[in-house]
Chains A and B, each alone.
Chain A
Amino acid sequence: MNLNSKVSDYNEIPKRDKVYTIALTGNPNVGKSALFNSLTGGEVFVANWPGVTVELKYGKLIHHGINIQVVDLPGSYSLVMGDEAEKTVRDYLLNNKPDLYVIITDITALERTLYPAIKLMEAYPHVIIVMNMADIARRRALHVDKDALENELNTFIIETSALTGEGIGVLLDRIVEYLISKRRRGFLKIDYGPLEPYIHKLEQHIKERSPDLHLSHRWIALELLEGDEELKAILIEKFHLDKAFVSSVIEEVKEHLRIDIPLYIIQTRYNFITNILKGRIIETKLIRPTWMIKLDNIFLKPIVGPIFSLIILFLSFLCIFIINTGFPLNVIFHNLGLHEPANLIESYSLVELVSLLFGQLSTYTSNLLSALGIPDPYISFITDGVLGGIGAVLSFLPLVFLVFVLSAFLQDTGLYTRIAVSFHNFLKRYGLSGKSIYPIVVGFGCNVPAVLSTRALDDDRERITVALAVPFIPCQARLVVMLAIAAAISRDPIAQAAIITSLYIVSIIIYLITSKILTKGLFKMKSGPELLLELPPYHIPHIRVLWWYSKFNTMAFLKKAGTIILLLSMLIWILLHTGPHGYIPVEEPKLISDSFAAILGKFLLPLMAPIGIADWRAILSLEIGFIAKEAIISTLVTITGFDDPVKAFNAIGLSSAQLYLLAIFMTIYTPCLATIVSMKSEVGKWKLVLIIIGYQLLLAYLITLIVSIILMFLP
């Protein structure tokens, strides 16, 4: 193979205080996250990089006294074209000069995973290759002639297993060796046969226009021939090329050679890979263990697959929610008359422990402050407004964390892809891909982690669609209110079940329709994405990756959403505890009717009465439900003075039909504060979030109105 051994401008004496930058990338599903984690020890930072629109993660490491920052680029098949992840890699590649790229491949699937590596070596002079999954290769008795490949590609190749940690030390040594060595490798050159004269022509043109580049001129020429219009336009602008000249060369190729240029280039690269691998991979055992094939057969079967996937998802979430709030196990035990174990589960759930902690903290603070002679209104503001707000944020943390752990687990094992494939056909009709099943299922427990878990979706448009629509899925807090209202309407368990089922059906239909409206209206997508997914082999999950992924995303939630939730919680305190006559003491619940919140409720009464919510106390509780849906119950309990939520609902003087209308409105009208703030942090635009809230309020009003009209005609 021809290797251009041009010495680049990178030769410099290593300085101890210099921070070197290396960038990690590779095919998806090669264990990049695990490797990043092993290299950096898991502490993650985010930063903006030149020319890249999204923030990228990076970690730091010191090896043999050399400071290195490791940039974690997304996984990519082609490096330059396609979805958001690939565009991020492209933007990074075009605008940054890392000291070294470490490109990760899967030793058990080299033919495919070497593809981006080869492409990168054509583009950039400083690339080393990691062949990950060495432990699996050994178990399958698969041997790769690494030395021969190193010679062919003229770079370091390191075998690692991010799972067992083997090879990581060697990799670090090699990275440092590369960074401080003077020997530079230059670009990989593949022979493209009949295309060569045209490549040369374009290369000369690029050299004239942009002589000094960190990328190979030849590679840019290749991308001009291979790339789509978008990529071409970017390259032409970035390197000051003459558009007419580039087009004329491409036209020339089409006319003279009559070949499909992109196909020819891709095929030549694959042929190159096939050739260098020929005789260098020795495999003596079965490629895939039979249990994997059996499991795949279940997942990928129509009907059976989706059911199996749903069972797995529901069981997993059930565990998470039981740990978090005791729900639904507590409800089941209560209904069976087993109140003692039910109470035990509730009191030892994470949410209960957090609220216990904050209850005591606020009692302590309140005592302390009153001992210091601070007036009551301030004490109430600090204990209920500020501490209550912090408690609200913290009470979400365990759940958010656990949902991310499960998400990471499913992704790392390869189960997520199977689940996505099994649901793809159904969700495609609503403009979504199979991967969006995860946020949907999470949504039934809690909308906050559901919105946050849309991060695992590949397509940005789909991510925004799901993040905006998923709050229509009734969460557990809404179910609690539904249960109380249903019990207030009827004592018959069958009627209660029918009421709740009807609410769920309405919500899910609205969710699907909203998704369709968003994908077709907002993003003008004709149909859902077509499925084209790699099914990675099943893996043992990597505990450190689970921990790291969950920790990183939970902290991101805390930073982004935490402060806003706190601020809004303070605002709500002002609405509820002050009125035109000043501060309203907490000990005087009857005086709530003087608060700004109550005045707002009374003001909205003429609007809400036509849809059956004909009591200002109900409206007030809906206002408070904006903080958290459970608070609807506690508010009514406070105002009416009844301890039993069912009695409290009956006490506000609504008929059974009106209570049902209240339940419908409550289910649809708006998600809680924390969800809205999460939506903002994921979608990025307040405008879109506000439009969605307006849409939800309007939709809730219209649907409740329609149902109220239907109910009028029923006996």
Chain B
Amino acid sequence: MVTEMYVPARPNVIPLSQAPTGSKVRVINVVGGKYRVQKIFDMGLTPGVEAFVRQNIYYGPVIVDVRGVTIAVGRGIAEGILVEII
């Protein structure tokens, strides 16, 4: 299921996979298969939540702090998490 939420045409909305190390982001939307989206939500990465990008190197997972825990997000999944830098 692709989420049917309206994605505002904001210029600074990027996939999490492109958010630089050390940046603070807000999750705007999550796209992907239903099972995957649900799992991402269950891990606390829901639209509106703020997260801190601890590490994002061109290769390997994106490491984010969200809701008091640290999560390693595979690049494939990070592509589908749309964020804006705040």
Q: Is the CB of A111 within 8 A of B68?
A: yes
Residues of B within 8 A of A425 (CB): 59-61
A-B residue pairs, 3 tightest by C-beta? A531-B74, A109-B68, A111-B67
Could you say which residues of chain A place their CB within 8 Å of the CB of B72? 300, 417, 421, 531-535
| B49: A residues at CB distance < 8 A | 270
Are the C-beta atoms of A424 and B47 separated by less than 8 Å? no
- Residue contact A82 to B68, C-beta cutoff 8 Å: no
A278 to chain B, nearest CB (A): 14
Q: Which residues in chain B, 17-66, are within 8 Å of chain A measured between CB atoms?
A: 30, 34-44, 46-49, 54-55, 57, 59-61, 63, 66
The answer to whether the Cβ of A110 comes within 8 Å of any Cβ in the partner chain is yes
Q: In the complex, how many angstroms separate the beta carbon of B84 from the nearest chain A beta carbon?
A: 17
B70 contacts across to A, CB distance below 8 A:
296, 534-535, 537
Least distance between A309 CB and chain B CB atoms (Å): 13
**Complex Cα spacing A259 to B5, Å:** 7
Considering only CB atoms and an 8 Å cut-off, how many residues of chain A contact the other chain?
40
Interface presence of B71 (CB below 8 A)? yes
Q: How far is the CA of A129 from the CA of B21 in the complex (A)?
A: 36
Contact residue among B39, B42, B67 (Cβ-Cβ distance under 8 Å from A109): B67
Most buried by A among B55, B63, B68, B71: B68
CB 8 Å contact bits of A272-316 with B (1 = contact, 0 = none): 000000000000000000000100110011100100000000000
B73: interface (CB < 8 Å): yes
Instruction: Determine the interface band of chain B, counting residues with CB < 8 A from chain A.
Output: 35 or more
**Residues of B bordering A, CB below 8 Å:** 3-5, 30, 34-44, 46-49, 54-55, 57, 59-61, 63, 66-74, 76-77
Bound complex: CA of A454 vs CA of B83, how far in Å? Answer: 36
Tell whether A242 is near chain B: CB-to-CB under 8 Å: no
A532 contacts B38, C-beta separation under 8 Å? no
In the assembly, what is the distance between CA of A143 and CA of B4, in Å? 40
* Bound form: Cα–Cα A113–B48 in Å: 19
**Smallest CB-CB separation from B46: which chain A residue?**
A267
By a CB distance below 8 angstroms, the chain A residues around B39 are 77, 82, 532
A9 lies within 8 A of chain B by Cβ: no
Q: Are A263 and B46 in contact (CB under 8 A)?
A: yes
Which residues on the A side are within 8 Å of B37 (C-beta)? 262-263
Q: Does A258 contact B (CB under 8 A)?
A: yes
Contact in complex: B61, A111 (CB < 8 Å): no
Q: Assess the B47–A263 pair: CB atoms within 8 A.
A: yes
- Report 20 cross-chain contacts, Cβ distance below 8 Å, ordered by A residue: A78-B38, A78-B42, A112-B66, A112-B67, A113-B69, A115-B44, A258-B4, A259-B5, A260-B5, A263-B5, A263-B41, A296-B54, A297-B55, A300-B61, A421-B60, A424-B61, A530-B36, A531-B73, A534-B70, A535-B72
The residue among A302, A531, A537 with the most chain B CB atoms within 10 A of its own CB is A531
A180 at the interface (CB under 8 A from B): no
Determine whether the beta carbon of A421 is less than 8 Å from that of B61: yes
Determine the chain A residues whose CB is within 8 A of the CB of B42 once the complex forms: 77-78, 81-82, 115, 266
Given known contacts A425-B61, A530-B77, what 11 new A-B pairs fall within 8 Å (CB)?
A: A81-B42, A108-B68, A111-B68, A113-B69, A262-B37, A263-B5, A266-B46, A270-B46, A293-B54, A530-B36, A532-B40
